[in-house]
Amino acid sequence: MSALSPDHLSLAPLGAGDLIDRAVRLYRRHLFVLIRTAAPPVIVAAAGWIVFSIFFQRVFTTSDTDALLYYIVLSTVAFGVMTLGYLFTLVVMGGATRTLVAHLLRNDPVTARATYAAVRARFWGLLGASIVVFFWLGISLSVTWGLAYMMALIIGFAVLLTGLVATWLAVIIAIIGVLIVMVAAPWVFFFIAGRVAYVPQVMLVEGKGVFDSFGRSFSLARGNVRRLMAMTLFTTFATYSALMILLFPLSFYAWLSGISVLNPAQWPAWYAVAYSVIGPLSSILLTPVWMLGLSLLYVDERVRHEGYDIELMAARQLGELPDVNVSSPLGTALSSIVGKQPPPAPQTTRPSNNILNLS
């Protein structure tokens, strides 16, 4: 943790392992604060997911037309609430980055109040940017699936042709093709999706508008695919590990009670609710690691491209640059999120002929 303290800023760019290590160390140091910070958006998403999982299952089991319409409407509303929770997570992520930078710059305490105060200052802009980011992620996923489908067709055609010659050769081509798809598809997704990885961070740390933040994120996201993939894989693996640890005793108890855990249509209400709660609970525990990882990745991109670590140290020693409205790659280390006050109105009274203004 000393390398993350304001007095010991690292001058070297961080690799994927270093980013994960520092995110985990920050998480351990500020465990309960970060959980309180990440809990509200995750709870909103969890509430939507619980209602969605319960009523969406009943869509396929009910025979009443009126009940079917009722379940479809509730499932749609629950899905919307769940989506809002994920949008809120992106919004809070920007505030968490600002809190981290303020901690590095001025040794400000890492608190949930500071994060949400920053979020409130730019909430509507962050919400609009998060919606655009969601659409961008959807486009990235569609492109990835399309590319994977085309590659699968080509590999399948090659396997059919080689299978007419030698079966062992077809098996080898099939294995190699599957491995290529498994590597290429995630790389393409993160290459496209990573372009907008820093939009909330740019808005709250650099004080830019929504469209400028997208352009800024595109310029910062050069060469971040490998580290972004590593951070995502680590967080996903840790989340599912926590999920399995929490799910095992619940499933074991349900099995002892005679419940078929492999048939969701036969789950009782208490087990469906408990099963739906476990996933969000693991997300509450691990979402702060994802937030910290993206925050550190944003800071590291600026260190790599702009010498941001030197800028932070200079700001600590000499004071921050004046927050003037000037477009420059070397702006303030941490911009003000409070709107600039308008200049004072010109004086309308006639100046006195008495220079000293003496009566």
What are the tens digits of pLDDT across the range 233-271? 888 888 778 778 888 888 888 888 887 777 766 777 777
CA distances, 240 to each of 8, 150, 221, 279 (Å): 34, 30, 27, 9
> How high is the pLDDT of residue 309?
65
> How high is the pLDDT of residue 139?
92
**Matching residue, tokens 């994920």:** 86
Q: Convert the pLDDT of each residue in 292-326 to its tens digit.
A: 888 888 888 887 777 776 666 666 666 555 555 54
Q: Nearest-CA neighbor of 154 among 134, 178, 188, 128? A: 178
What is the mean pLDDT of the segment spanning 166-184? 87
> How high is the pLDDT of residue 284?
77
For residue 72, how many C-alpha atoms fall within 13 Å in the half-sphere facing its CB? 8
CA distances, 243 to each of 53, 91, 280, 290 (Å): 17, 25, 9, 16
What is the mean pLDDT of the segment spanning 276-295? 78
Residue that wins the pLDDT comparison between 15 and 211: 211
**Which amino acid makes up residue 177?**
G
Give the least confident one: 67-76, 152-161, 275-284: 275-284
| 9-14 long-range Cβ contacts below 8 angstroms, 24+ apart | 9/104, 9/309, 9/312, 9/313, 10/309, 11/309, 11/310, 13/300, 13/303, 13/304, 14/296, 14/300, 14/303
Burial letters 290-303, b for 16+ CB under 10 A, else e? bbbbbbbbbbbbbb
**Matching residue, tokens 């055609």:** 157
Give the least confident one: 62-71, 125-134, 319-328: 319-328
**Matching residue, tokens 């997570």:** 89
d(CA 130, CA 86): 9
**Matching residue, tokens 């994120």:** 217
Which DSSP category does 343 fall into?
P
Give the CA-trace dihedral at 324, 325, 330, 333, to 10 degrees. Answer: 60
d(CA 33, CA 301): 25
**Candidate ranges 20-24, 35-39, 47-51, 187-191; pick with highest mean pLDDT:** 187-191
> How high is the pLDDT of residue 271?
78
Which band of pLDDT confidence, cut at 50, 70 and 90, is reported for residue 140? very high
Which band of pLDDT confidence, cut at 50, 70 and 90, is reported for residue 74? confident
Which band of pLDDT confidence, cut at 50, 70 and 90, is reported for residue 353? very low
Q: Convert the pLDDT of each residue in 320-330 to its tens digit.
A: 555 555 444 54
**Candidate ranges 113-117, 272-276, 345-349; pick with highest mean pLDDT:** 113-117
Residue 231 clears pLDDT 90, i.e. is over it = no
Residue that wins the pLDDT comparison between 60 and 86: 86
Q: What are phi and psi of 3, to 5 degrees?
A: -70, -15
* Angle of helix 167-193 versus helix 225-256 axis, rounded to 10: 110
Instruction: Give the tokens for residue 318.
Output: 């000499």
> How high is the pLDDT of residue 321?
53
Q: Nearest-CA neighbor of 103 among 242, 249, 1, 226? A: 1
> How high is the pLDDT of residue 350?
47
Residue 61 clears pLDDT 70, i.e. is over it = yes
Which band of pLDDT confidence, cut at 50, 70 and 90, is reported for residue 354? very low
